Structure 1
Amino acid sequence: MSAEMTRTLGRSGIEVSALGMGCWAIGGPFWAGDLALGYGKVDDAESIRAIQRALDLGVTLFDTAGVYGCGHSERILGQALGKRRADVLIATKVGDQFDEETRRITGGLDDPRSGVRRACEGSLRRLQTDYIDLYQLHFNDYDLERAVEVREEMEQLVAEGKIRYYGWSTDDPERASLFAHGPHCTAIQHTLNVFEDNPAILAVCEEHNLASINRGPLAMGVLTGKYTSREQIGREDIRLSEFSWNYLNSERLPGLLQRLDQVREVLTSDGRTLAQGALGWLWARSGHTIPIPGFKTVKQIEENAAAMQYGPLNQEQMRQIGELLGSASGEVAGRA
């Protein structure tokens, strides 16, 4: 399979690269109180080079959020795309309010209608674009009644040409189904990787013809084989937190490393790196999946994009991984 491997973005019918790029890490440091929520310091020039290299390698989907770096990720993405903006699909998200200067979260989405509209205008400004291709709600367990208002406001933004389609970043099938009934809903972003299967959400995506956009496809780097201890993580990095969904928290990491060793040989059996094998597992899991691994460097972009040359794992590889890890790949821990 060539680097032009593509998938359809749900019911929108838009063809995008089968691999997207997640832009959380390039947002740099930001905080909720004293809690670091970024992936540590970043080199903006390298981030821009990495995005432009991804474009050259056929990547046409970039996923970010207003809150990543409190606006910084969106600004860097907009700057890097420049005149090539029309060649890509930009996905961003609306969630927590924040202060761009202090890089601190200041509140949630209290008013579903005015909050969504205000956040959309901010994202358009930072991304230097007239429209957002995919606008996503960025709260895993947002109140259902308020979510209906969010969906209605997003439909209005579609009518005004500010966004083309929308979706929800959630691991809850009920919430995914609620949004799925909106005419211009075309994607659900959710947890999915070799360690954490998510059959209930995949079923919703397949039933409603929605794209399954996969966050955490490399388990915050654990599936690359790079991390063997928490001591390798830099300061001001969310992976030092003890959130239950953090793959590198002190309780989870040892067990995940053991499971990685169990499937290492299968994931790399046809010349792939571990990361490329993990991405191949996602493509084989469903025809709707589009993984969005994060990045900070050109090298990471090149390795992940090269996974498209291999394509999905084959049936035998999937069977072996299923047997080695058991039929259930672990509970999915919901998060925004």
Structure 2
Amino acid sequence: METTRPLGRSGIEVSALGFGCWAIGGEWQAADGQPLGWGKVDDEESVRAVRRALDLGVTFFDTADTYGAGHSERVLGRALGKRRADVVVATKWGNVFDEETRTLTGGDDSPAYLRRALTASLRRLGTDYVDLYQFHLSDADPDQGALLRDACEELVREGLIRAYAWSTDDPARAAVFAEGPHCAAVQHALNVLTDAPAMLTLCEEAGLASVNRSPLAMGLLSGKRRDRQPLEAGDIRSRPPAWLRGFGDGSGADPEWLARVDALRDVLTSEGRTPAQGALAWLWARSTRTVPIPGFRSVAQAEENAGALEKGALTEAQLAEVDRLLGR
């Protein structure tokens, strides 16, 4: 398997594995106190992990202005430092937040806010351009999406961004952005437990990259959760929102979902892979357009995820076996 993949039709090449920077944003919350982060983090370890990923060939890093209410962008910018030109940085806009209290306060899908948000992200990242700028409000009105698509085209012409995308699980919304010449990707949920054939079809037809969030199903596919282990209070999975599947009432992983993971263990751990590496290998085999972006909080996690590149994709026979085991 090639260790790099094109970022859609943008002409940008990225490592076949990206790193998602949600977790390194640390703790933040919704206005009602709902945790939106992954718990406490060590910023120094986060910086070391990013730099280790760079050394291991990872060139694509995905964050969002709202992760940690700006903190993830600051940590990523600091970690990249003088190596910024060597990587592809993706961030997102659309959510409104209070940096001081680390609280999500709402959303804004106006073109005016788009520009303000980009200016703030550039400052936090310590850069003068963003490679891939992504709209973060997944269920926004498609007509408004068309206005934002056109606004993104203006930002491309001004040299402030190189390409753009919509982070959404709805192919119809993604198709609105895909009409723009500099739309390069769709960011959407995809993992071995939750397939997305309609979105992958759109990516193929429109020439877009499929950037995969939740590639490890929020940790279920890491192989480290074998029972209903308690989660720390600042972890979003401890009070899961409606869209977060597999963690039920927040007391731990659902036994039904863990049973599915166990059923796949032998296939995913073939050729000496860890369960997480096997889950990433499934994504690469699923489509030549996929670029999974697993999260990380430590050097050890960075090394494990990056190690999946050496193992490559699952075979067609293994893909078929996964489908058989999951009854699909």
Give yes or no for TM over 0.5: yes
The reply to whether residue 55 of structure 1 matches residue 54 of structure 2 is yes
* Cα offsets for 1:112-154 (capped at 9, x unmatched): 1111000000000000000000000001111111111111111
3-state secondary structure, aligned to 1:36: coil
Give the whole-Å Cα distance in 2 for the aligned partners of 1:141 and 1:233: 28
Instruction: After TM superposition, list the pairs within 5 Å mapping 1:24-63 onto structure 2.
Output: 24-33=22-31, 34-63=33-62
3-state secondary structure, aligned to 2:90: strand
**TM-score using structure 2 length:** 0.96
Aligned CA distance change for structure 1 residues 248 and 236 (closer, same or farther; 3 Å): farther
Instruction: After TM superposition, list the pairs within 5 Å mapping 1:1-336 onto structure 2.
Output: 5-33=3-31, 34-110=33-109, 112-250=110-248, 253-327=254-328
Residue 49 of structure 1 deviates from its aligned partner by: 0.1
Matched positions, count: 324
Give the whole-Å Cα distance in 1 for the aligned partners of 2:84 and 2:47: 13
Residue 279 of structure 1 deviates from its aligned partner by: 0.2
Amino acid at match of 1:265: D
Give the whole-Å Cα distance in 2 for the aligned partners of 1:288 and 1:66: 25
**Structure-2 residue corresponding to 1:331:** none
* Cα offsets for 1:167-194 (capped at 9, x unmatched): 0000101001110001100000001001
Amino acid at match of 1:173: P
Identity %: 60
**Contact 2:63–2:91 (8 Å) recurs in 1:** yes
Give the whole-Å Cα distance in 1 for the aligned partners of 2:125 and 2:142: 29
**Contact 2:227–2:258 (8 Å) recurs in 1:** no
Q: Which piece of structure 1 moves more, 100-109 or 194-203?
A: 100-109
Mark the runs of 5 or more structure 2 residues left unpaired by the alignment. Answer: none
Residue 230 of structure 1 deviates from its aligned partner by: 4.4
**TM-score using structure 1 length:** 0.94
Give the whole-Å Cα distance in 1 for the aligned partners of 2:57 and 2:116: 32
Give the whole-Å Cα distance in 1 for the aligned partners of 2:176 and 2:240: 31
**Contact 2:8–2:185 (8 Å) recurs in 1:** yes
Mark the runs of 5 or more structure 1 residues left unpaired by the alignment. Answer: 328-336
